[in-house]
Amino acid sequence: MFTAHLSQYFHLHPWLVAGTAAVAMLAVLIEIRARSESFASISAQEAIQLMNRGALTIDLRSAEQFAAGHVAGARRMDGEQILKAGDVLKKHKQKPVIVYCNSGSLAAAAVRKLREQGFAQAVNLRGGITAWRTENLPVEKGAGSHA
């Protein structure tokens, strides 16, 4: 009985059924993408562990923001430099690379670009420098190192 009603519903409302199916597929795709990107995202504590093992840390913020406070040992790079990182940072391709910005959203895109260039261990600092500071972790001030 139920399947007959369901069949009749599908027949009477094909656009509604198609729209519902499309939204369901979109939700699945968004979830898959979010999960695949989350593996490339680490906490501040995990970042410290990687830094202790020699990870390269890249700050994507402006020079002024960088000078106001950055993760110790971080190297400042802008978006254009990230696109050329495969050439500039060749010796770091086999090392972990931690990328951060203010909140983590720009860094996630940079991590995708770095991975496309062969940086298999590139990761995003989840929450960016904001999360780092929230955990009361130290920052260096000044110009520091540049790419």
Q: Give the model confidence (pLDDT) of 9-42 as tens digits.
A: 888 888 988 888 888 888 877 776 655 554 589 9
Total domain count, the chain = 2
Token couple for 86: 């495969």
Whether residue 48 is found in the same domain as residue 25: no
For the CA atoms of 27, 32, 34, 37, what is the dihedral angle to 10 degrees? -160
Share of the chain above pLDDT 90, in %: 57
Co-location of 110 and 70 in the same domain? yes
pTM: 0.72
Residues 61 and 115 in one domain: yes
Do 46 and 108 reside in the same domain of the chain?
A: yes
* Same domain for 52 and 69: yes
Instruction: Tell me: do 81 and 136 sit in the same domain.
Output: yes
Same domain, 26 and 53: no
Q: Mean pLDDT across the stretch 94-115?
A: 92
Higher pLDDT, 112 or 6: 112
Instruction: Compute the distance between CA of residue 144 and CA of residue 58 in angstroms, rounded to an integer.
Output: 12
Shared-domain flag, residues 33 and 44 = no
Which residue range forms the structural domain that includes residue 6? 2-37
What is the rounded distance in angstroms from the CA atom of residue 125 to the CA atom of residue 57? 10
- pLDDT score, position 147: 47
Active site residue 101: yes
- Per the residue annotation, which of 42, 44, 101, 106 is the catalytic one? 101
In this structure, the answer to whether residues 20 and 56 fall within a common structural domain is no
Q: What is the CATH number of the domain that holds 66?
A: 3.40.250.10
What's residue 145's pLDDT? 55
> pLDDT for 29-83, tens place per residue?
777 665 555 458 999 999 999 999 999 999 999 999 999 999 999 999 998 899 8
| Token pair listed for 80 | 């254009």
Same structural domain, 77 and 33:
no
Mark whether 57 and 107 lie in a shared domain.
Answer: yes
Q: How far is CA 90 from CA 94, 95, 123, in A?
A: 9, 10, 17
Half-sphere exposure in the Cβ direction for 39 (13 Å, CA): 9
Same domain, 75 and 22: no
Question: Using one digit for the tens of pLDDT, what is the confidence trace for 118-147?
Answer: 999 999 999 999 999 999 999 999 876 554
